[in-house]
Structure 1
Amino acid sequence: MKVTPLSIPDVLLIEPDVFEDARGFFFESFRGDVFKKETSLNVSFVQDNHSKSSQGVLRGLHYQIPPHAQGKLVRVIQGEVLDIAVDIRKSSPTCGQYVTEILSNDNKKQLYIPEGFAHGFLTLSKTSEYLYKTTDFYHPESERCILWNDGTLNINWPRDLNILLSSKDLLGQTFKSSELFPCKQ
């Protein structure tokens, strides 16, 4: 497994060792001892989630506030998505900045997104199936959402897709109106 810190170093790109031949492929999508050794992180995942989305579906930018904040290990098993993590940690030097990565069933890349990040993804292919592990359980009262097109964050989303949002995500708040603002920089 290859682990690469992204431009916000706490977000990790994980590329598993894939064994491929004429029959297909095999890889360990998660193995706790190897994950801990390669990332130096001591996290416990307590919940697995699976979603299917059509092209243009944007889910996010979601997070849970403490004490129910969630770290996530995410991957795509079918299709292709643009995955995004926004640093919302007030004391972080990268607060308000974001990283993106294309995840797909072809590249088999994964992202580890620690607590303190808002997270979302946009389905680029006809459909996508998305799996993710979380470090805390879903807690509806702690869930928050930042608007996907927030002017302060100024995320560079693809312009050639018709964005489809849930009614809940349409009601997301601006970054500046959230309890996260202002960043201490």
Structure 2
Amino acid sequence: MGTHVTPLPIPGAWKIETPRHEDGRGSFHEWYRDDTVHAATGGSWHPRQANMSVSLRGVLRGISVVTGAPGQSKYVTCARGAVLDVVVDVRTGSPTFGRWHLERLDEDHHLSLYLGEGLGHAFLSLAENSMLLYLLSQPHDPGRELRVQALDPDLGITWPPEVTVHQSAKDRAALSVAAAERAGLLPAYTL
């Protein structure tokens, strides 16, 4: 089985499945290939920063979105543990505005997600010390990062009730999607 790329129901987001090869030494897999992502995105992707986060069970990070131009695309994968990773369309004018898509990323299934510019991103750690790796199209600029509340009832993201959620103070104080839209803070849909 080769790499398989599937568009998600939110325009500008894809799921990338990569095969794992095992032998007596262990396993190997390519978690990122530039040509694969370029083919899916039309060649607009150029990673410029790599990040890693480690989260305890129940940590909910995001929803984060980069505003202004240039936007920021993300390619994410889970190297250890397991997370519920959510793509949220917070682009004003988008036909899927306010919709979200959830995927389980874990160390066993070799899935990655690509999120185009303007899409929101959040994840919930399902295991102790889950490690998420990110490739970013633009270096992180805290002045252009917006947080939207991941527990916003209007979004209605289905987080598992058996996991006690822990958010940072910054994430707890995040605006609802409606408040961010009223304030003119959300990115515009440009596809």
What's the TM-score bracket when you normalise by the shorter of the two chains?
Answer: over 0.9
Partner of 2:80: 78
What per-residue deviation string (whole Å, max 9, x for no partner) do you get for residues 109-167 of structure 1?
A: 00001111110100011220110011111111111101111121111111111111111
Normalising by structure 2, we get a TM-score of 0.89
> Percent identity of the aligned residues?
36
2:186 aligned to which of 148, 160, 180: 180
Aligned counterparts, 1:77-156, within 5 A: 77-156=79-158
The number of aligned residues is: 183
Structure 1 residues 129 and 181: alpha-carbon distance in aligned structure 2, compared to 1, 3 A threshold: closer
1:61 aligned to which of 60, 63, 67: 63
Give the CA RMSD over aligned residues: 1.8
Indicate conservation of the 8 Å contact 1:3/1:39, yes or no: no
The alpha carbon displacement at 1:172 in A equals: 0.4
| Gap runs ≥5 in structure 1 | none
The alpha carbon displacement at 1:175 in A equals: 0.6
CA distance in 2, matches of 1:47, 1:157: 29
The alpha carbon displacement at 1:10 in A equals: 2.3
Secondary structure of 2:177's aligned partner: coil
What code does the residue aligned with 1:152 have? D
The alpha carbon displacement at 1:9 in A equals: 4.0
CA distance in 1, matches of 2:170, 2:70: 19
Partner of 1:29: 31
| Gap runs ≥5 in structure 2 | none
Structure 1 residues 125 and 95: alpha-carbon distance in aligned structure 2, compared to 1, 3 A threshold: same
Secondary structure of 1:168's aligned partner: helix
Indicate conservation of the 8 Å contact 2:84/2:104, yes or no: yes
Partner of 2:47: 45
CA distance in 1, matches of 2:16, 2:147: 26
Secondary structure of 1:177's aligned partner: helix
What code does the residue aligned with 1:12 have? W
What code does the residue aligned with 1:62 have? S
What per-residue deviation string (whole Å, max 9, x for no partner) do you get for residues 40-90 of structure 1?
A: 342101100001010000100001101242110000100000000101111
Indicate conservation of the 8 Å contact 1:68/1:137, yes or no: no
Normalising by structure 1, we get a TM-score of 0.92
The alpha carbon displacement at 1:13 in A equals: 0.5
CA distance in 2, matches of 1:35, 1:84: 19
- Runs of at least 4 residues of structure 1 off by over 6 A? none
CA distance in 1, matches of 2:188, 2:52: 33
